[in-house]
Structure 1
Amino acid sequence: MASQQTVQEVEESLGQVPGWMEIIAEPASDHSWGIFRDLNLGETELSPREKALIGVSAAAAMNCPYCTYFHKEEARFAGVSEAELKEAVNVAGITEYFSTLLHGNEYEEAEFATETDEIFEHIRDQQAAQADD
């Protein structure tokens, strides 16, 4: 279990020490809390809303029911709508789908990068043309 200082900090932050935090091996318990606290609860470059949507997407792609539940609740708390949650999971799904196609077919990564750069150059050009209209 974590040090007494970490246990106290977890209780103050979360209102309890969740059982899942008690199963973290001793050498990593304090450090694990620090990572969770700093990235999930701390002020970072991403807003709580953005972090929650990323968490939901990653959890869905990993097929983790624990993380999916946690990050959906986190997202709802951050004001994410049910429609936005569904869309985030769909985006994770299509990303996983196309990743499988690319990896399974051993598509050339350099070719993919070149094509992607060309696509976004085209989109930028289209947006610039629309702004000029």
Structure 2
Amino acid sequence: MVSTESREEIERTLGQVPSWMELIAEPAGDHSWGIFRDLTFGETELSPREKGLIGVAAASAMKCPYCAYFHKAESRLAGVSEAEIEEAVNLASSTQYFSTLLHGNEVDVDEFAAETDEIVEHIEQQEATADD
């Protein structure tokens, strides 16, 4: 439940107070709206396109149909193409796949980080050589 002030702000911003906002426990209502408002609609380091695509990828990995629907709509509003949405879902799938592989096999995190740093350094050197 949100305060009257937040309810009015939500209605101005979204055109309505979504029914799911009523499910938020009273002590967290205004705070939850603030987080949603500021991260989704606020001016941040990420563009609306980036925010939408991150949301699509996260929702896909979490297998949340509610979040997937919302973030796909958010992405489309920001001009993201269907091909870009599909790619974001594929990247989330790939990340989840390899995460399962790494966790399930208990790959040493420090060793993984060291290898990743070496790979990044190699790619940076390759790109520098290509620019010459």
CA distance in 1 between partners of 2:34 and 2:55 (Å): 17
Task: Please provide the CA RMSD for this pair.
Answer: 0.4
Q: Report the Cα offset of residue 22 of structure 1.
A: 1.1
CA distance in 2 between partners of 1:11 and 1:96 (Å): 36
TM normalised by structure 2 equals 0.99
CA distance in 1 between partners of 2:80 and 2:2 (Å): 33
CA distance in 1 between partners of 2:108 and 2:7 (Å): 49
Matches within 5 A, 1:36-115: 36-115=36-115
CA distance in 2 between partners of 1:32 and 1:77 (Å): 23
SS of 2:24's partner is: coil
Q: Report the Cα offset of residue 16 of structure 1.
A: 0.3
CA distance in 2 between partners of 1:124 and 1:42 (Å): 34
CA distance in 2 between partners of 1:82 and 1:3 (Å): 37
Percent identical pairs in the alignment equals: 70
Matches within 5 A, 1:112-131: 112-131=112-131
SS of 1:83's partner is: helix
Structure 1 alignment gaps of length 5 or more: none
Structure 2 alignment gaps of length 5 or more: none
Aligned equivalent of 2:7: 7
Matches within 5 A, 1:12-31: 12-31=12-31
TM normalised by structure 1 equals 0.98
CA distance in 2 between partners of 1:77 and 1:42 (Å): 15
Q: Report the Cα offset of residue 76 of structure 1.
A: 0.4
CA distance in 1 between partners of 2:2 and 2:76 (Å): 29
Q: Report the Cα offset of residue 10 of structure 1.
A: 0.2
Q: Kindly report structure 1 stretches of 4+ aligned residues shifted beyond 3 Å.
A: none
CA distance in 2 between partners of 1:70 and 1:47 (Å): 17
CA distance in 1 between partners of 2:55 and 2:76 (Å): 12
CA distance in 1 between partners of 2:18 and 2:34 (Å): 15
CA distance in 2 between partners of 1:2 and 1:125 (Å): 53
